[in-house]
Amino acid sequence: MTKNTWCLPTMVAHLYKLVPATLLGLVLFIFSSASIAADSNGVSSFSDVETRLSQRNFTKKQQAVEWLVKSHHPAVKLILAGLLDGQIYYQRKSKQLFLITELAINKSAYAITGSIARDQSVEHVISNKRDYKKVALNNRLRTAIRLGIAQLDLNAESETLRLQAAKSLLGNTSETVQSLVLSTYQDESSEAVKEVLALGLAIANIKSDAAEERQAALNVLSNSLELVAFRSLSQALDLELAKSNGDALFIANIERAIAAYQQSQRIYNTAETLYFGLSLGSVLALAGIGLAITFGVMGVINMAHGELIMLGAYTTYVMQQLMPNHIGLSLILSIPAAFVVAGLVGVAIERGVIRFLYGRPLETLLATFGISLILQQAVRSIFSPLNRSVVTPDWMSGMLEINPMLSLTYNRLYIIIFCLLVFAALVFVLKKTSLGLQVRAVSQNRAMARAMGVRSEWVDAMTFGLGSGVAGVAGVALSQLTNVGPNMGQSYIIDSFMVVVFGGVGNLWGTLVAGLSLGIFNKVLEPWAGAVLAKILVLVFIILFIQKRPRGLFPQRGRAVEG
């Protein structure tokens, strides 16, 4: 055991570096022992806090929590959060408080660094945690701790923290909370925070006996999209209807406010459904764009297209294993890596098998189906049949909150943007490069293109490799939405063909429109038809549509059409 006397900021910075992340226990922050004037409950210093938190009397524990909040020490919030998380322990003999987190692999030892209550670092590792006892809480004490944390955050410098604290108090109509909200509202400078605080006050005042207060509260609640506002309006309506002499005008105003809220809810639910549909459509479009080249332009029924998607997903997994400490960077680097891996496999498939089967679609179907089985088994042999999980970077996690009724998940938003970028890059390649010119020439008239000096065999290989590479890039995106496994490609092969056929064989714009349309159509049907029936209805719709327009939404001349 070593002892060193430090000032609090220096010690806090040192403690973070002092204990390795692989240790089982970690104690953070030393609380200053400077005395604070005694309050009415007789708590005058942190030593009193230690004594009371180590007792069984929850009233005394609550008094200790209240003193902590009033002390305004920087470490108070960490202590209160540790109490809620069950990480605050006291030593049975000395009653000193410790923050212990069990993080390491060796569960027989707990590393303890620093007493929360002392101006000195106490470092040691214990083999028996029985010398330490967790500070017990009850529901009332947990409520007091949460209120204390909210009170601290309401006085924080960060507007984000103040806003979160104000939202956490919504719906709490106790006199203590309302007094806190009112005093904070008067001193608050941020309009966003003041709006939430005003909503909290209105939730309490909607049940007031004073007509003016009720009407003012109704005006605030009517302009809010928060769910708690709707609940408060509903409760106020029930309360007013239960009265024998209820205010008819007030009841009518509440009913109009509830109707307006429900209308807004329907609008934003529709917007959310469309957003989910666009994200699903982007996945379908990504899976189908590569097939639009190999099947639409070259006329090859490639049943191994799903396995090329799978290879792109496994490339993402391998990149994360090579760069475990740089998840975001590994995901970005996986895009070109997956394109190269899947593209090279595609070129090998075209040169080794497909080039002997042009003009024989049934044989290409059977051959590529066999290749898909080979690729699946190869992946099982290398990575095992178990699914692999790909970690989502922090910048793709979370949600973009438009308003309380509409939040957009970042991963779906990035998938939509990624789909559009891939589509734009592919259109550029096919429209603005010499390879794209030769691809279009060979697809429209192979004999004339060869007469003009175009090496059709080279174009075939590069086109198949391009379509396969795009399938690999689609696998990178899909790895962020689902587990990576040997059979993941089978889930998208049928959808890919549906998208290509519905959009128009060989037409990239048709593929994009078809993918997005089918995704939206599917999500619109799901709420009342269910996921399985929705897919069946989409398939039936495509069958009927193809009966009417056999060449899809945007027909295009090409080798498959001419054949």
What is the C-alpha to C-alpha distance for residues 334 and 318, in angstroms, rounded to an integer? 9
Instruction: For CA atoms 408, 412, 418, 422, give the dihedral sign.
Output: negative
Per-residue confidence (pLDDT) for residue 125, from 0 to 100: 59
Residues 272 and 371 in one domain: yes
Let me know if residue 515 belongs to a domain: yes
How do residues 362-380 score in pLDDT, each as one tens digit? 888 899 999 999 999 999 9
Cα separation of 524 and 373, whole Å?
35
The tens digit of pLDDT for each residue in 183-208 reads: 888 888 889 899 999 999 999 888 88
C-alpha 462/C-alpha 297 separation (Å) is 12
* Total of domains in the chain: 3
Q: Which of 140, 171, 199 is the last residue of a domain?
A: 140
Helix extents (H) in 433-455? 434-444, 446-451
pLDDT of residue 23: 31
**pLDDT at residue 223 is higher than 50:** yes
Q: Are residues 340 and 424 in the same domain?
A: yes
Range of the domain at 14: 8-140
Q: What is the mean pLDDT of residues 144-150?
A: 86
**In terms of pLDDT, which residue wins out, 451 or 42?**
451
- Cα–Cα dist 95/49, whole Å: 10
Shared domain for 461 and 364, answered yes or no, is yes
The answer to whether residue 165 is domain-embedded is yes
pLDDT of residue 19: 36
In a domain, 146, yes or no: no
Could you give the CA distance from residue 369 to residue 372 in angstroms, rounded to a whole number? 5
- Reported as type and span, the H/E element at residue 406 is strand 406-409
Mean pLDDT calculated for residue range 266-282? 92
Domain membership of residue 517 (yes or no) is yes
Residue 297 per-residue DSSP state: I
For the cut 70, the answer to whether the pLDDT of residue 127 exceeds it is no
Per-residue confidence (pLDDT) for residue 79, from 0 to 100: 82
Q: Which two tokens stand for residue 510?
A: 């048709």
Q: How many CB atoms sit inside 10 A of residue 422's CB?
A: 22
Chain centroid to Cα 298, Å, comes to 38
CATH assignment of the domain containing 431: 1.10.3470
Q: Mark whether 134 and 165 lie in a shared domain.
A: no
**Looking at the DSSP assignment, which residues form a beta bridge with residue 389?**
none
Sort residue 243 into left (φ over 0), alpha (ψ -120 to 50) or beta: beta
Distance CA 112, CA 244 (A): 65
* Mean pLDDT of the 243-259 span: 87
184 and 74 belong to one structural domain: no
Q: Which range has the top average pLDDT, 21-30, 79-88, 109-118, 319-328?
A: 319-328
* Residue range 173-185, pLDDT digits in tens: 888 888 888 888 8
pLDDT number for residue 445:
73
Are residues 126 and 239 both part of a single domain? no
Whole-number pLDDT of residue 36: 42
CA atoms within 13 A on the CB side of 208: 15
- For the stretch 467-502, pLDDT in tens is 899 999 999 998 988 889 998 888 888 888 888 888
Average pLDDT across the chain, whole number: 81
Please tell me the predicted confidence (pLDDT) of residue 435. 84
